[in-house]
Amino acid sequence: MKRIEALKQVVFEKKGFDGFLITNEANLLYFMGFPGAPCILISKNGRSVIYVYSVNYQQVKAEAKDFKVELVKRGEDLGTKIAKKVKALEVKKLGLDTIAGVPHVAGYLKLTKALRETTKVKIENEAVRVLRRVKDEGELELMREAGELTSIGMETAYEAIKPGVREYEVAAEIEYAMRRRGSWGTAFETIVASGVRSAFPHGGCTERKMKKGDLVVVDIGANYQHYCSDMTRTMVVGKPSAKQKEIYEIVRLAQEKACRVVKSKVKAKDVDAIARKVIEDAGYGKYFVHGLGHGVGLEVHEPPTLNRESKDALTVGNVVTVEPGIYIAHLGGIRIEDTVLVKRQKAEKLTKGPYTLETKQQT
């Protein structure tokens, strides 16, 4: 309920709305703590209402004690029902968040049409984002656990990678290890990209068999009670070559230097610049083809953004990734990534693992 109160403060006091409709899935999780409802309506002059279809009615009723729970009956239209409520509450200016940057189109159109004479409907995404990018202690506890589980997964990757093993087999070992220790699932699709495929930053995972000398990019994340983590290590099957070690060292240094400057009040683009400079100075600037990092929380990619164009400044309680990489088409790719918590001084790493190309299977 504290979070709803904080949202009311922002949207009603600062932004001039008198009603707000939450429809974004991650936002709903943030305010409810569990999935299962299509939307929440909050208003200045009434109790917050959770709308729910009959399939989840009992659960929501049991768990969402601070809300009024409204059942959307079979055959009843959600948009019409909300419009009626908005009118009854005499909401004049209704804010609305969106799903993946766009409003739920059909519902949005229906709502604006139904309310065209009584209520102004306006998309407002910043309000919840501003709240969500600063994690509270409860969230941090979950994110530390997600980081812990991810680190266990990575340890498994160091043990599983060897000549002849397939990418999906390594992915299965990783996910199994995380699950065994309490992970609720993965934060995103596990990446185990070997050989030439390691040069694709989002290489996914195929049936390719690993060969001696292959670089392998392993990018994984556990999900713990809906909170994500994100971590990458790069390994070599068998013994790394001098060239692979040389490039690895550049990426490692870029990552270390960037991690060291992550703290409150620092500009996100300056952190990107520090990592980029290490890679540029070594002559590999054009092979670092993405931004340095992104916020992590209920979603694996959320604000703030760490890249050259970012206008974000870091604040205490942000959780972000630091993930420089070098990708060379014929040679392969190397990326090192940790999820870190921004503090007043030195950042706290939520993912932990060795910074080495060498697997545990040196045969």
**Residues of this chain that bind Mn ion (CB under 5 A):** 230, 321
Q: How far is the CB of 56 from Mn ion (least distance, A)?
A: 31
Shortest Cβ distance from residue 321 to Mn ion (Å)?
A: 4
Residue number, 18 or 299, with CB nearest to Mn ion: 299
Cβ 312 to Mn ion shortest distance, Å: 16
Asked if 193 contacts 167 with a C-beta cutoff of 8 angstroms, the reply is yes
Q: Report d(CA 313, CA 335) in Å as an integer.
A: 24
Burial of 169 (0-12, 13-18, 19+ CB in 10 A): middle
- DSSP state letter for 241: P
Nearest distance from C-beta of residue 323 to Mn ion, angstroms:
5
Which residue is listed with tokens 């604040």? 315
The residue (of 11 and 300) whose beta carbon lies closer to Mn ion is 300
CB of 359 to Mn ion, least distance (A): 22
CB-based closest residue to Mn ion: 230
What number of other Cβ atoms are within 10 A of residue 123's Cβ? Answer: 13
Nearest to 43 by CA among 7, 73, 97, 77: 7
Closest to Mn ion by CB, 86 vs 320, is: 320
Rounded (to 5) percent helix, strand, coil in the chain = 40, 25, 35
In whole angstroms, give the CA distance from residue 155 to residue 153.
Answer: 5
Question: Cα–Cα distances in Å, from 146 out to 46, 177, 255, 310?
Answer: 37, 13, 21, 26
DSSP for 162-201, written as a single string: -TT-BHHHHHHHHHHHHHHTT--EESS--EEEEGGGGGST
Q: Shortest distance, CB of residue 337 to Mn ion, whole angstroms?
A: 6
Residue whose CB is less far from Mn ion, 150 or 321 = 321
Where do the DSSP E strands lie in 82-146?
93-96, 120-123
Instruction: Indicate the residue among 3 and 133 with the shorter CB distance to Mn ion.
Output: 133
> Alpha-carbon distance 146 to 259, whole Å?
19
Which CB atom, from 128 or from 336, has the smaller least distance to Mn ion? 336
> Which helix or strand (DSSP H or E) is residue 275 part of?
helix 268-281
Q: Which is nearer to Mn ion, 29 or 296 (CB)?
A: 296
Smallest separation, CB 262 to Mn ion (Å): 14
Indicate the residue among 151 and 321 with the shorter CB distance to Mn ion.
Answer: 321
Nearest to 23 by CA among 141, 121, 133, 115: 121
* Least distance (Å) between residue 187 CB and Mn ion: 9
Please report how many Cα atoms fall inside a 13 Å half-sphere around the Cα of residue 201, on the Cβ side: 15
CB closer to Mn ion out of 34 and 188: 188
Cβ(132)–Cβ(295) below 8 Å: no
Least distance (Å) between residue 302 CB and Mn ion: 11
